Chain A
């Protein structure tokens, strides 16, 4: 119990800003985001990579931040829901379509769903409905029945 925690000098880009922190090397990326950076928009739904609520973009790819160590972020770029913005600095098209379509209910899965959708549309702006279904199958939502989530992502394609 008295063992000294090893620390690590982490340097990364968070939502466009350079961040340098000394962190325990055992810190998960999710805990780093929520506790050290105080960015509470990233949610913990399971802590085991099963639900997608904690998804963030690391170098543009969607990852479950509960399954990644914070030290793995070294030299990389992190975007959380707080960093998801439209070209004009306002709402991102996905945020607008999620709101307009009624894809938001309890909202706990919403940041993760928007991140996963953003990663998909960056990679494949012409994603088909089947592509979207497959990509979002790792993001659990217990409220919506997914219909409005899928239509929100479909509509955001043309808004991009």
Chain B
């Protein structure tokens, strides 16, 4: 085992001090001389034909500057995201309530908001679609193409009908899940600053500065080298700052271009709810077949996501859901059909798990039902069917040795005291406590569907004083990227951790590194840093060796490098001196690095191929109390185990795990966004409830580190993994407690109570 000085240790977070003292500069905290403020004018109805937009009344607001509409777009009025069907500002038709129709610019945020409310949109209401299943029916109103299908995939393998005919046991069920709002505490925002040469600098709260770059350059018809995106400290993302910040930043940039002055655009919470991306509501019909020995022989899935009014990221969200739709099991015969349907509601996009949590809730609930039919304990049933190294996934991909699936399941089984608890749900008065289980896998990185974006750059620069700056193209959004990437840099260079500073993304300093999504940052940017730092490391190590020899070290002993020190035969020299020595020798102390993910494949006709470069694995057990009188359930404890490869920083990894579990539990139990007649009715934290300290369960979390040879210091990816399996584990625990099988998330008391009543 390689001895590591910095990787694998809970070193302090690089950005903790500025955040704990209130000094961190988020987008809203940045001010510029002469700065104006923008506010959005939004469509009031699900689908309208815009007849006219008038700022006659708005002009009377003191401080009013101008109105910005599609007419002010110099470039092409198409936001360059996957399928390019979303205009920066609509010209003829607005397709969901809350869509930005125009922007008002004024000298204060208050004046801009006041004036925006006075802008008059004359419109004609058009027929609209709200229900994704209805949208797919033949006779439905057509709002997207000829069939309202935004995207569709299949995975076909073996002979499914035959396997179901021959099966000893079969189960089938319909499941649904509601929206999830990201509820990042910092709403969306950007500040655009015009430059003297006609260029534009945009300070953006974003996970994906290069998506912002694409969009701003397109909207303003500027060459990329005249656009600079500076990521601000970002107050949470979870996928919600993947695509849509590009739209927000483009709007700010259009306002700045028109007025020639810096313009700040900060979203209020309500408009953030109404117009920014969400986790797709999901619907699925899943069926499994098993033979008499309890081996799963076939799986059939129809999975539909509610894409909303524009395609945005739906195709790739759906694709991830498709690939993982049957669960982490060996299954020879599969028939998976998936659809993203267009509706006149808020466009849905990325959210931690990216199309997996919805289908995972369905299939992991149903696996419990299959185990029950077969008459085997649900954990044992999973163990009998889990994928193992050398096995093939449903896309025909052979798994390599970095697969700790069985180990994570066994760890959770053991630590949770599963065997005893599952047989005897505890009853005290009207309160019953049950336990439930789930197992998942997660393809790290963008996979075959996003492979053209799966590369990342890095720039490593060692100054004369030995301090090190690192520029990467992936972002810190709270998960700890600046810290983890600094640890990887320090390890590679043998530089003291304190001397390394990873900067927030500046799009002009690193090549397009793709998005900060898909739990890919440690893997992609980490490997790019290693590539950049390795030649510098060679110079540093050679220089250190020479310096030690010059000091009279005994060269018969090997040189040791650890913790920022180099030692040999009784002599020691530190990184600071060695860096100065390198500069004295006029050595090149800065390098670019690049990492492109290994090849992945996916055949559209049958969904076969090596979908992802590597997988992470998780298992969850949930202990849940149910009050039989009211149906109120409370999650008491979650046990979880993860194989996400080598853990770079245990404390940060634990934070990711706890945060991901709570987000998953909150979605499973509470979060219920409601639409009525195409209008969102609860766009606020009073009526859309997320988990608080009072709801927090107890956590028991461990990591089983199966090394990934291609990963930086053997790491895989972890950000999304902890969320995915929570909902089915909780639902299975409710079933274990009181017999209620609830097939729709959130698992609200009334749903549980109804099932209890049915008996």
Residues of A within 8 A of B (CB): 1-2, 31, 39-48, 50-51, 53, 80-82, 84, 91, 95, 98-100, 102, 104-111, 114, 132-134, 136-150
Contacts and interface: CB of A to CB of B under 8 A. Distances in A.
B658 A107 contact: no
Contacts of B238: 142
B583 interface: no
B91 interface: no
Tell me whether chain A's interface is mostly helix, strand or loop, or mixed: loop
A102 to B, nearest CB: 5
A141 B185 contact: yes
Contact of B684 (A46, A95, A134): A46
A41 B22 contact: yes
Given A105-B479, A136-B693, A142-B238, A45 B187 contact: yes
B25 A40 contact: yes
B749 interface: no
B20 interface: yes
Contact of A106 (B22, B110, B234): B234
Interface in B59-115: 60-62, 110
Contacts of A134: 693-694
Interface stretch (B9-17, B331-339, B367-375, B423-431): B9-17
A132 B20 contact: no
Task: Say which size band chain B's interface belongs to.
Answer: 35 or more
Contacts of A42: 22
Given A48-B684, A99-B17, A109 B185 contact: yes
A108 B13 contact: no
A34 B655 CA distance: 30
A1 B686 contact: no
Interface string B472-488: 00000111100000000
Nearest to A51: B685
A119 to B, nearest CB: 15
Interface stretch (B358-366, B394-402, B659-667): B659-667
B235 interface: yes
Interface string B22-52: 1111101100000000000000000000000
Contact of A102 (B23, B234, B651, B690): B651
Interface in B671-697: 684-686, 690, 692-694, 696
A95 B659 CA distance: 20
Nearest to A115: B22
A43 B186 contact: yes
A89 B477 CA distance: 30
B19 A142 contact: no
A137 B61 contact: no
A147 to B, nearest CB: 5
Contacts of B478: 105-107, 143
Most buried by A among B10, B19, B28, B663: B19
Contact of B693 (A46, A84, A133): A133
Given A50-B685, A142-B183, A147-B696, A81 B21 contact: yes
B699 A107 contact: no
B460 interface: no
A41 B235 contact: no
Interface string B229-249: 000011111100000000000
B138 to A, nearest CB: 41
A133 B184 contact: no
Most buried by A among B17, B651, B654, B696: B696
Contact of B12 (A48, A99, A132): A99
Nearest to A141: B185
Given A99-B16, A146-B662, A147-B696, A40 B22 contact: yes
A140 B17 CA distance: 20
B269 A45 contact: yes
Given A50-B684, A99-B13, A104-B13, 19 more contacts: A2-B60, A31-B110, A40-B29, A42-B22, A46-B269, A46-B684, A99-B17, A102-B13, A105-B236, A106-B477, A107-B15, A107-B19, A107-B20, A134-B693, A142-B184, A143-B655, A144-B659, A145-B657, A145-B661
A136 B652 CA distance: 22
B552 interface: no
Contact of B185 (A43, A47, A145): A43
A139 B693 CA distance: 8
Nearest to B19: A107
Interface in B436-479: 477-479
A107 B696 contact: no
Contacts of A145: 655, 657-663, 696, 699
A113 to B, nearest CB: 10
B180 to A, nearest CB: 11
Most buried by A among B17, B21, B110, B654: B21
Contact of B19 (A51, A82, A100, A110): A110
Contacts of A105: 236, 478-480, 655, 659
A40 B225 CA distance: 32
B479 A47 contact: no
B182 interface: yes
Interface in B219-265: 233-238
18 contacts: A40-B25, A40-B29, A42-B22, A44-B28, A48-B685, A48-B686, A53-B185, A102-B654, A104-B13, A105-B659, A106-B234, A133-B694, A134-B694, A143-B236, A145-B655, A145-B657, A145-B663, A149-B693
Contact of B236 (A106, A146, A148): A106
Contacts of B662: 144-146
A10 B231 CA distance: 37
Contacts of A99: 12-13, 16-17, 20
A2 to B, nearest CB: 8
Contacts of A136: 692-693
